Structure 1
Amino acid sequence: MDIKFRDYIDADYNDFHEMVRSLYSNDLEGQPMNGTKVTSTINEAKKNPQKVRIIIFLNNNEIVGYSILVYYWSNEFGGNMLFIDELYVKEDSRSKGIAAYFFTSLEKMDNIVALQLEANTSNRRVLDYYMKLGFEAAGNTHLIKMKDSNTSS
């Protein structure tokens, strides 16, 4: 195995879009995904790489996964947080240590104080995996209020 991580480039579009589609086809509890959202994420990452990064996972120079990283400041934690918005490894590349290696590389970053991610509570396998890597449930509950798209601000 020759695992590498690099930033998204335009030539990755089809592979990236297909992996996002695959992730969301298995995540029936999340928000519906569409091409407009994927394109908006790509554009935001290009415009504000200090805020959003799309990382492409390579094994022997073949695309095998991706992650979307979002940086933000937390007063509570006293520094920059790195939110792992999405992480996906293609099915035939799973259980080979790729995600664990990715998390190890993230932990070496010196400009963040903590990593954060979310997982559906119904996916025990993923929850157990993240806990094995040292993640733990935070004391706070994650709440979201969607902005009504039919009203203007």
Structure 2
Amino acid sequence: MNIEYKTYTKRDKSDVLKMMTSFNEIYDYDFDPKIGEKNLIDFTSNEILGRLYLIKYQQSNIGYIVLSFGFSFEYEGRDAFIDEFYIKENYRNQGVGKLTMDFIELESKKLNVNAIHLEVESHNSKANKLYMSKGYKSNNRILLTKKIKTTANNSYKNK
């Protein structure tokens, strides 16, 4: 399968928002399309925040991956978090995930990223197997999250 990767452009907005909706439906995550669109515009308008790459097959978008930048003293500078990784159902289990993880590692090196982090549902055995095969390891820590309501995200819904 000849997979290509392309950096997001404004022309991709509609397709990416559809895929983001599908991504969030998989695990029944809260997703407000209006907030999603605002966040997509904010994120892709500022390269300091990271990159969104489209996964393409035969000129069609078949998925996307979001690499969000951070900074870590522990990891000696710039690190990144794979915030979202989605492949359309018809293209899963065909090696696209492995190719995309290889692509992200190469891109991260070009972007001076010293460590890549990701979060995966514990019951998603296929994703866990993929990430482990690509060298990702548990650091025996638990990711804890607290959502903060600010004026920038005042529509946050507390579940």
TM-score relative to the length of structure 2: 0.84
- Verify the 8 A CA contact 2:44 2:52 in the aligned structure 1: no
Runs of 4+ displaced beyond 4 Å: none
Name 1:10's counterpart in structure 2. 10
What is the aligned partner in structure 1 of residue 147 from structure 2? 146
After superposition, residues 2-151 of structure 1 pair within 5 angstroms as: 2-28=2-28, 31-108=29-106, 109-110=109-110, 111-148=112-149
Instruction: Return the letter of the residue paired with 2:136.
Output: F
RMSD between aligned residues: 1.9
- 1:44-73 C-alpha deviation (Å, 9 max, x unpaired): 223311213211110111110001110111
Q: Is the Cα–Cα contact under 8 Å of residues 77 and 114 in structure 2 kept in the other structure?
A: yes
Secondary structure in structure 1 of the residue aligned to 2:122: coil
Which runs of 5 or more residues in structure 2 are unaligned?
155-159
Aligned length: 149
Give the Cα separation in 1 of the matches to 2:120 and 2:16: 20
The 3-state SS of whatever aligns with 1:137 is: coil
TM-score by structure 1 length?
A: 0.87
The gaps in structure 1 that reach 5 residues or longer are: none
Structure 2 CA distance, aligned partners of 1:137 and 1:5? 28
Identity, % of aligned positions: 23
Is the Cα contact below 8 Å between 1:44 and 1:52 reproduced in 2? no
SS at match of 1:96: coil
